[in-house]
């Protein structure tokens, strides 16, 4: 009997691994068919498979935590509106409702039922960030969500295989990039379709009539694996706070972490109230990134699904910036929400010092660049109109036993958009993209280095930028004796300093320079390996002056 049980366990593990490969292929379909650069170049997507109760069984490795973990909760919202009983073969459902999806209007979530022999056996879901949803454009200046663009409630994108032309027509007439946005919706549908086809093939191969037994095994095993790691920690309550720039005033993110036998509770009471601008965070996005902060360290080897997510519980008072109810403006919710792993890691550092990285830039430095009638303070004339969202990052915090990653997005994990792609789709010239010397916080392990970018209009026209940047006033903090990273900065070629948040105009003939923050250091800089300091100087990461004055190394 014991041998039979062991064989059954092996069969289950093989099926589980196969399911993970199914969702990874699902995600790759989206990346390879997407029209927008955010999906096909930056990988700002998510994909996963769910049981018919709406519980996530597997997620693709390709994708961002904010999309994946928020999407894990959003499928339940779809089932509240369209229960399994009313779904038909060929149906596709979508929404970009920030409070039902992944936190802002630019993210579309699509859910598709998968049928085997006429019976629903699973749901596939995916998300991507589209370049434009109308309104003010992707930026933080809105005062209510109604200003931020088109909101599609949970509704059918297709019924019985027939796409809804009215939905597509509404999208096309309301956005600045209709071809890209419509193309992305078809890519989302294709992504789920391929996932469903691969799942059906897998189930036939393994002679499965449902995913019930496999789903129970996945969820129970993952929950047990996560709880085993939690129970190895010292029980108690630990607190951490972090001050960041905010928009109209600074924002305090406050976290109380309680470790107990039943899991980890994160309470964000004491966090700043909601902003008057579009940097507020729907609670689903807060849950997504706060949970990810825990999972980076605790249970990191346990696959991400409903079981491993369950032992981490999040609470944030309604009305604070991390639980902003409708109609709060939320377009730039990532600027605040992506800081949460650093806050959570600050709590964990008190429990397991030496295993937690320093703070990094964390928020993306994604300039949204725009040109066209009414976009700029000067007349745009007959220059080529455009709207482009390009993805870029500062440095991450230093890691235990390793330096931070240079110009790399953490916690989102999205990739930098290649300059060649940017210049191919918009009338812009990127004159400079290079590492920012001395931007990394010093330490036994230094932080990741930021980057510098310089941009102008290729036709000499004025253009606009929607800025959604942070770490310009308050730097990423070092840990355990490491120094802070350098704050960010943005300015024009005539020396004019620009704000970190809001739409601003770049006059004709001017260039804009973005200097991105560096990550915090970890440990005493005087203990850094001298050969590593010399390498940093040779590679332009650290100046000779900083090597001498901070590290005590003459190069």
Q: Tell me the per-residue pLDDT of 319-357, one tens digit each, with 9 for 90 and over.
A: 999 999 999 999 999 999 999 999 999 999 999 998 999
Q: Omega before 388 cis (within 30°)?
A: no
Total domains present in the chain: 2
Strands 312-315 vs 263-267: parallel, antiparallel or unpaired: parallel
What span, in angstroms and rounded, lies between the C-alpha atoms of 10 and 7? 5
Q: Is residue 489 part of a domain?
A: yes
DSSP element (H, E) containing 347: helix 340-351
Q: Is residue 280 part of a domain?
A: no
Q: Is residue 277 part of a domain?
A: no
Residues linked to residue 318 through DSSP beta bridges, in sequence order: none
Q: Is residue 388 part of a domain?
A: yes
Q: Is residue 166 part of a domain?
A: yes
Q: Is residue 334 part of a domain?
A: no
Last-in-domain residue among 188, 222, 256: 222
- In 3D, which of 375, 366, 304, 302 has the Cα closest to residue 338? 366
- Per-residue DSSP letter, 497: B
Last-in-domain residue among 222, 249, 264: 222
What span, in angstroms and rounded, lies between the C-alpha atoms of 497 and 506? 11
What is the residue whose two structure tokens read 């990741």?
A: 448
What span, in angstroms and rounded, lies between the C-alpha atoms of 374 and 35? 26
> Residue range 219-226: average pLDDT?
97
**Tokens representing 69?**
């973990």
| 217 and 362 fall within a common domain | no
Which tens digits make up the pLDDT trace of 173-218? 999 999 999 999 999 999 999 999 999 999 999 999 999 999 999 9
* Whole-number percent of the chain with pLDDT over 70: 99
Which tens digits make up the pLDDT trace of 502-553? 999 999 999 999 999 999 999 999 999 999 999 999 999 999 999 999 999 9
Last-in-domain residue among 194, 222, 250: 222
Considering the entire predicted model, what is its pTM?
A: 0.95
Which tens digits make up the pLDDT trace of 126-139? 999 999 999 999 99
Q: Omega before 411 cis (within 30°)?
A: yes
- If you write DSSP's letter for every residue of 39-66 in order, what string do you get? HHTT--EEEEEE-TTS-EEEE-SSS-HH
- In 3D, which of 504, 448, 490 has the Cα closest to residue 245? 490
- Structural domain span for residue 370: 357-555
pLDDT category at 2 given cuts 50, 70, 90 is very low
What span, in angstroms and rounded, lies between the C-alpha atoms of 98 and 109? 10
**Tokens representing 99?**
């409070």
């Amino acid at each position: 009997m014991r041998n039979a049980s062991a064989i059954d366990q092996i069969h289950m593990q093989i099926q589980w691994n196969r399911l993970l490969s199914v969702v990874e292929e699902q995600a790759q379909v989206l990346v390879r068919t997407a029209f927008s650069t955010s999906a096909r170049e930056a990988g700002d997507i998510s994909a996963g498979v769910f049981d018919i109760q709406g519980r996530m069984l597997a997620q693709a490795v390709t994708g961002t935590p904010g999309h994946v973990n928020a999407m894990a909760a959003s499928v339940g919202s779809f089932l509240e509106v369209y229960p399994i009983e009313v779904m038909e073969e060929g149906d596709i459902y979508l929404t970009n409702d920030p409070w039902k999806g992944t936190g802002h209007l630019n993210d579309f979530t699509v859910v598709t039922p998968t049928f085997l022999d006429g019976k629903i056996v699973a749901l596939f879901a995916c998300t991507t960030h589209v370049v434009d949803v109308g309104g003010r454009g992707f930026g933080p200046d809105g005062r209510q969500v109604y200003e931020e663009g088109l909101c599609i409630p949970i509704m059918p994108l297709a019924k019985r295989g027939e796409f809804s032309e009215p939905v597509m027509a509404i999208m096309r007439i309301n956005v600045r990039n209709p071809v890209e946005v419509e193309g992305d919706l078809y890519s989302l549908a294709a992504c789920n379709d391929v996932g469903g086809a691969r799942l059906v093939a897998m189930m036939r191969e393994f002679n499965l009539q449902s995913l019930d037994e496999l789903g129970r095994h996945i969820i129970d095993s993952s929950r047990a694996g996560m709880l085993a790691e939690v129970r190895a920690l010292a029980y108690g309550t630990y607190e951490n706070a972090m001050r960041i720039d905010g928009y109209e005033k600074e924002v305090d993110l406050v976290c109380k972490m309680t470790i107990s036998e039943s899991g980890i509770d994160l309470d964000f009471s004491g966090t700043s109230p909601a902003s008057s601008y579009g940097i507020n965070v729907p609670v689903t996005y807060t849950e997504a990134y706060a949970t990810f902060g825990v999972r980076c360290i605790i249970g990191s080897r346990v696959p991400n699904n409903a079981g491993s997510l369950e032992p981490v519980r999040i609470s944030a008072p309604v009305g604070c910036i991390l639980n902003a109810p409708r109609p709060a403006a939320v377009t730039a919710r990532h600027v605040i929400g992506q800081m949460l792993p650093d806050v959570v890691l600050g709590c964990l550092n008190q429990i397991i010092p030496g295993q937690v990285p320093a703070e990094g830039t964390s928020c993306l430095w994604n300039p949204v660049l725009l040109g066209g009638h009414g976009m700029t303070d000067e007349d745009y004339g007959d220059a080529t109109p455009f709207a482009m969202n390009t993805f870029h990052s500062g440095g991450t915090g230093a890691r235990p036993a390793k330096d931070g990653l240079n110009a790399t997005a953490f916690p989102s994990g999205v990739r930098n958009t290649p300059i060649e792609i940017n210049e191919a789709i918009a009338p812009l010239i990127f004159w400079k993209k290079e590492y920012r010397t001395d931007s990394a916080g010093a330490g036994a392990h230094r932080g990741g280095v930021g980057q510098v970018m310089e941009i102008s209009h290729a036709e000499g026209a004025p253009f606009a930028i929607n800025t959604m940047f942070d770490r310009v006033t308050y730097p990423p903090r070092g840990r355990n004796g490491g120094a802070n990273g350098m704050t960010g900065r943005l300015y024009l070629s005539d020396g004019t300093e620009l704000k970190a948040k809001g739409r601003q105009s770049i006059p004709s003939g001017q260039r804009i320079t973005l200097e991105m923050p560096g990550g915090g250091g970890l440990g005493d800089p005087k203990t850094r390996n001298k050969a590593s300091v010399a390498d940093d100087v040779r590679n332009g990461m650290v100046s000779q002056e900083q090597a001498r004055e901070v590290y005590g190394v003459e190069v």
